[in-house]
Each structure stands twice: as C-alpha cells, then as structure tokens.
Structure 1
Amino acid sequence: MGMNTPSRNGGRTRGRPPMSEINVTPFVDVMLVLLIIFMVTAPLLVAGVPVNLPESRANALEQEQEPVQISIDRDGRIYLGEEELSRTALISRLGDIAASQNPENPRQIMLRGDTTLQYGLVMGVMGELNRVGLNRLSLVTGPVTSGSSEAP
C-alpha cells in the first residue's frame, strides 16, 4: 500500500494516487495494551522475603476485639496470653477458642516467636491453629533498630 508498484497500464494509476502514510492507530492500540499489561504485572514481579523476620517497620493492625496472644520463647515454651501451656493443653484451649468464636467476626491470633526458634516449632503451632479453624493469624515482629542489618 505504501509502495509504488508498477501497474498494467504503464505505471499510471487510475483513480487515487498511491498512499504514502502509515496508519499508526493499530500500533498505538497494541502499545497501550502492552503498557497496561506491564503496569499490572510489574508490582507482582518485585516480591521478596526479608531474611530477618522478627523486625519490621509495619504499622500495628487495628483490632475490633482483643486478639489471642500466643508466644513461644527461646526454650520452646508455649504461652497463651501469659499462661504457660504444654502443646496438648494448647491444642485443647485452641479448640475451645475456635468453638466459641463468631463465624462472622473470627478472632485474630497474634503469634510471637523468638528469633532463635526452629522453624518447625513455629510451623507446628501454626498448623494446629489452622486445624482448629483459627485462620486469622498475624506474626508479630518488633520495630527495626538502628543497628539492624535489614534492608528497608
């Protein structure tokens, strides 16, 4: 269309002269679609997991009701609030909490774990929480200190 090709009548064209412009509308449409795709997917590609989890600059969550506090100290002792419990007693108490909660507004669980704990112990407690149906779980972290090695 944009080229001047010889015709049967000796190079002369009948009717309209050859078109010398390129229609850029389809090109602009494709570029806008690609721009939208990149704008949507770019934030998803920047995902990272901080290595030093016990410190965070996150703001505190607003709570409608008092959350259930579960703490695990460096020796692996488990506390519900300030009461030390064995693992079997914790499972029983979590079942009671799950049975008494309102399904429309489930209880928030705040899990605190020492930085020196084994990952399996924390995951075991999280698994028990999930098993009894307490799924609104937050992992509590402390504020970032000035001498911390965590990247902002």
Structure 2
Amino acid sequence: MSASTSPRRGGKGGKHRRHVAYKSDHGIQPAQANSDINVTPLVDVCLVLLIIFMVVTPMLGRGVAVKLPTLTTATMHKEGDQVFVSVNDDGAWVETDMYTEKEPFLARLEEDLKIASGKALANDYKGPILFVKGDKDTQWGRVKTVMEWITASNAQMQDVALVVEVANQSGPPT
C-alpha cells in the first residue's frame, strides 16, 4: 500500500479520521442528570437571615415607654368617697339604679360624684375615685360606650379605675 492511499495517513484516496475524546462514532453522549440538591447556597442564605434577625430583633421596641398607673385598692379610700358603676347586658348601673340612656346616667353620676368629692376632701384625698365594673360575659362595646359617656361628662373625679378579679395568689403564677 502506498503512502498516498493509506487511510491512516489521510492521503487522497483514504478517509481522514481524527479521534476526539468526548465524541463517539454514534454522536455525543450527554452525561447523566444530577438530581441532588445543592444545599450550600441554601445554608448561606439561611445563615445570613439568621444573623440579620439576631441583630434586628433586640432593636424592635415593644411599644412606647410610658409610665404605668399603680394598683389602687378600694380599701385605701373610706366608704363614701368612691362611686361604683357596673355594666352588664341590661345597662349601666350607678350603685343599684339601672340606666340605659346617656343623659339620666350622667346626671346621677355627677350627683354621686359631688357627694363623694366632699367626703374625699374631708379625708384629705384629691377627689373621688370612680370604679367601673364590667361583667366579663358582657360585650366590650357596652363597657366602652359607658366609658365614653363618663369621659364626655364634666364630672370632677380623681381617677377612673377598672375593677378586675384578682387570681388566687396561692397557686402557681400565670
């Protein structure tokens, strides 16, 4: 065989073939698909978010700092320099009289507060305390309405206090 017709040497009559490592005679064979999740970027993002929340959370305030009122018990005041208003589903009660309308309620409240104001001044207090007792089964809207009536009045009082039931102190704190 002559050098010009040799298939390996690429002569005129021969077929020239070159071997490429990633090709075969039947075409390109793609690699198998990798279905594993790459968790490195996920971990990086989670760590960055964790650091951001750890830095920002202490800076978040829980409301505006205000002076809170102190607890006052009814026993600190003498009998008569306190006025009690009770609210339930039937209406608003001043002492033992029930009212469902604003004007008669405020007239009675102002009268009782004037009497209690005189007694409070006699006992060296600034003024009477108005205690509002709302039934826990009554809708909050009723109690709120009565509170709005009280604040809209011109009655002179030292404080308005909401009466709550104190939990049993012998049990574990809640």
TM-score (norm 1): 0.48
Greater RCO between the two (CA within 8 Å, min separation 6)? 1
TM-score (norm 2): 0.43
Query: Higher Cα Rg: structure 1 or 2?
Result: 2
